[in-house]
Amino acid sequence: QVRKLIWEGTLHLVQEGLKSGFLHQSTAEHSCRKNNIPVVCGLSELCEMAKQFPAVNEGDRQAVHVLEDENFSPEQDLLSCVTENNSDYAKIIVLMGQKYLVPPKSSFLLSDISCLQPLLNYKKKYDVIVIDPPWENKSVKRSNRYNLLSSSQIKQIPVPALAAPNCLVVTWVTNRQKHLRFVKDELYPHWSVKTLAEWHWVKITNAGEFVLPLDSLHKKPYEVLVLGRIQGDVEEALSRKSEGVLPIPEHKLIVSIPCTLHSHKPPLTAVLAEFLKPDVECLELFARNLQPGWTSWGNEVLKFQHTDYFTLLQNE
């Protein structure tokens, strides 16, 4: 059933892409051009070091560090509290001699998972929480690319404490059925989240072909998003309906050419917009980049914000 859904839905979108010129049939292979990856201080290692900072009394702890016009920020502030850019334009911060771009109206916490308290102290409740956990995976384990989390560790993430009533929770899941069952049968019930939908992100090449065979027994050309909602009152649901917010569809395809940066997921702001009320508070957990209007947390949350990934546009 999933195969049929993905095959037929992707075929239709690819035909539209070829017709519009967005995709090019002459491009026979998926572009694997390597980006010039900047050599930076390991952010996750930095977060590990920050755990050794002297303990600060809760009463003395600064909950938020607001970026001012100058780009200097004490490095300990960047590692011990939520950093905000409240302005309407991007700002640059310097961390360990490296420059990172912070989008307008965004905030972030760069920390180890054991140091989430500043996010809880931030006093915000979120209407949308997107989670991209570092699932246990044999190939990733061999590469030592991430600090992987077990299922029991993922269950300890304080999603209920961060969620507003009727919060929409979106979790990226690998294609392992074990992980999918865990999210729907254990994780979401543990967080009092009711599963609503299972969406798929389908990865295609510039020519409109699947990046991997659809029938591959191992890796698949798609990833799964499990959407659920914190169980709340009926009034909130009626409020969403009265404001013209569409109900979450049980199935939806997101079809795109994947970024060449490893494991870089497509942003969901535009995809989710029609299913959300205006001006919602959004949070991404295990983020490795920032988004305007969002709060992001992760031990590599600034990774893809390094200025080497961006091109400076000159005013004409």
Q: What pLDDT, in 10s, does the model give residues 188-245?
A: 999 999 999 999 999 999 999 999 999 888 889 999 999 999 987 655 555 555 566 8
Residue 46 pLDDT greater than 90, yes or no: no
Q: How far is 48 from 44, CA to CA, in rounded Å?
A: 6
Please answer whether residues 67 and 94 qualify as being in contact, where contact means their C-beta atoms are separated by less than 8 angstroms: no
Residue 316 pLDDT greater than 60, yes or no: no
Q: How far is 75 from 89, CA to CA, in rounded Å?
A: 22
Per-residue model confidence (pLDDT) at position 37: 57
Residue 63 pLDDT greater than 60, yes or no: yes
Residue whose C-alpha is closest to residue 286's, from 141, 98, 153? 153
β-strand pairing of 222-230 with 193-203: antiparallel
Two structure tokens written together for 64: 């938020």
Instruction: Give burial (CB, 10 Å; 0-12/13-18/19+) of 305.
Output: buried
Q: How far is 314 from 118, CA to CA, in rounded Å?
A: 37
* Neighbouring residues of 222: CB distance < 8 A, sequence distance ≥ 6: 6, 175, 200, 201, 202, 203
DSSP, residue by residue, 220-246 = -SEEEEEEEEE---HHHHHHHHHTTPP
Per-residue model confidence (pLDDT) at position 43: 84
Per-residue model confidence (pLDDT) at position 29: 46
Q: What pLDDT, in 10s, does the model give residues 138-175?
A: 655 444 445 789 999 999 999 999 999 999 999 999 88
Neighbours of 23 (CB within 10 A): 20
For the chain, give the mean pLDDT. 84
Q: What are phi and psi of 156, to 5 degrees?
A: -80, -10
pTM: 0.88
Residue with more model confidence, 237 or 122? 122
Q: How far is 134 from 147, CA to CA, in rounded Å?
A: 7
Instruction: Give burial (CB, 10 Å; 0-12/13-18/19+) of 19.
Output: exposed
Set out the domains of the chain in order of their start, with CATH numbers.
2-308 (3.40.50.150)
Per-residue model confidence (pLDDT) at position 77: 72
Two structure tokens written together for 252: 């939806």
CA angle 168–169–175, rounded 5-degree value: 140
Instruction: Give burial (CB, 10 Å; 0-12/13-18/19+) of 48.
Output: middle
Please answer whether residues 76 and 82 qualify as being in contact, where contact means their C-beta atoms are separated by less than 8 angstroms: no
